[in-house]
Structure 1
Amino acid sequence: MIGQLRGTLVAKQPPELLIDVNGIGYEVQMPMTCFYEVPDVGETVTVITHFVVREDAQLLYGFNTFAERTLFRQLIKAQGVGPKLALTIMSGMTATQFVRAVTHDDVTSLVKLPGVGRKTAERLVVEMRDRLSKWGTDTPATDAAPIDFGGDNPTIQASSTREDALSALLGLGYKPAQAEKAVNAAYKGNESAPSEELIRAALRSMT
């Protein structure tokens, strides 16, 4: 079981990181709410991980805190929720926001997330309420350094950040038309914004 990684951040392609740990590169998928806090490429990063073994793949999911990983593990225990949907849920709202939605029976907020229909949302509220009754926060695994989004060619950067944002939303399960509409709306007037900011704005507009 791989429970934590600490190494050099080699690449960031939302929602995935590539972390070099003593010469071995680990691909780690993160909820976007966690991805926002990751330091810049070339910096040292520590992530709390959950390891999933399938017949066709071995996957690592990463989080900034143990509490976030705990929520992920509780989510994938729920009926009809696998790692991909859990990742999408935690990308659309923070762990605290999800817990608040469950404790206040806020089905309306949950159904706005991709892949979460009304029946799934209602089931999540019922199944997760007791599991999250003692929910608390903990200290981040790392003090994330400020992200440097500088670049020598702002035109190329602006184009690639829009594509990165669109790719991230598609990877999280949003339909192409829905993802493109949200990214275009976030991109308009914010052409120089980094991909993380565009993704955050696009997700906010849909939830």
Structure 2
Amino acid sequence: MIGRLSGLLAEKNPPLILLDCHGVGYEVWVPMSTFYNLPAVGDKLVLLTHFVVREDAQMLYGFGSENERAAFRELIKISGIGPRMALAVLSGMSVTDLAQAVTTQDAARLTKVPGIGKKTAERLLLELKGKLGAELGSTQAPVGDAQGDIQQALLALGYSDKEAAAALKALPAGVGVSDGIKLALKALAN
């Protein structure tokens, strides 16, 4: 029903954010991978969303990339895995790490996520096999425009998601792609 939101980031309280879309504030639950890549409060933000309607609640989940949303949707299809657990999985590991764990059938990687035991991890691996692979785990399209290009460049250079996210936070607002890459590389070199 609601597939994408575009507006100004009003509040950040992990894992919940408030996105102001022309005067209407949407509470959106986001995985930590998306949260770390959010712009500053007051800046423009575009999120892909998944709307969940239950008997007792209507919840909106937001993602910085199509890969994250697709992985979330695959996770919630699994019996016993609800939106909160899927959000925990995507907060505990990147889509790339999840796809690699599924490809290698590595249950130990999944059990590192809080709330995931050995049996649940094995069921996740079995259910996701063939559904979550290289196409989802390839590259993540980040949240911002120039920041997204900078992050992609850092990932292509071999830096981890966490290192790239930390370098992006240190960049001044409105920095260009080439200057941003140079500044990020300097920050990572320290």
TM-score over 0.5 for the pair: yes
Contact 1:48 1:141 in 2 (8 A): no
Distance 2:121 2:39 in 1: 33
CA RMSD of aligned residues (A): 1.8
User: Alignment partner of 1:6: what SS?
Assistant: strand
Task: Quote the residue 2:42 is aligned against.
Answer: 42
Task: Quote the residue 2:61 is aligned against.
Answer: 61
Task: Quote the residue 1:152 is aligned against.
Answer: none
Distance 1:20 1:45 in 2: 9
Paired positions, count: 149
Distance 1:34 1:85 in 2: 16
User: Alignment partner of 1:12: what SS?
Assistant: strand
User: Alignment partner of 1:69: what SS?
Assistant: helix
Contact 2:100 2:133 in 1 (8 A): no
Task: Assess, with a 3 A threshold, how the Cα gap between structure 1 residues 24 and 89 changes in structure 2: closer, same or farther.
Answer: same
In structure 1, the gaps of 5 or more residues are: 150-207
Distance 2:114 2:134 in 1: 27
Contact 2:34 2:143 in 1 (8 A): no
Letter in 2 for 1:104: T
What displacement does 1:71 show? 0.3
Task: Quote the residue 1:172 is aligned against.
Answer: none
Distance 2:140 2:56 in 1: 34
Letter in 1 for 2:47: V
Q: Percent identity?
A: 50
Contact 2:75 2:86 in 1 (8 A): yes
Task: Quote the residue 1:73 is aligned against.
Answer: 73
Name the TM-score, length of structure 1 as normaliser: 0.68
Task: Assess, with a 3 A threshold, how the Cα gap between structure 1 residues 9 and 148 changes in structure 2: closer, same or farther.
Answer: farther
Task: Quote the residue 2:142 is aligned against.
Answer: 140
Higher relative contact order (CA 8 A, sep 6+): 1
Task: Quote the residue 1:3 is aligned against.
Answer: 3
Counterparts of 1:125-164 in structure 2, within 5 Å, are 125-133=125-133, 135-136=135-136, 137=139, 139-143=141-145, 146-147=168-169
What displacement does 1:113 show? 1.2
Task: Assess, with a 3 A threshold, how the Cα gap between structure 1 residues 77 and 111 changes in structure 2: closer, same or farther.
Answer: same
Name the TM-score, length of structure 2 as normaliser: 0.73
Distance 1:67 1:112 in 2: 21
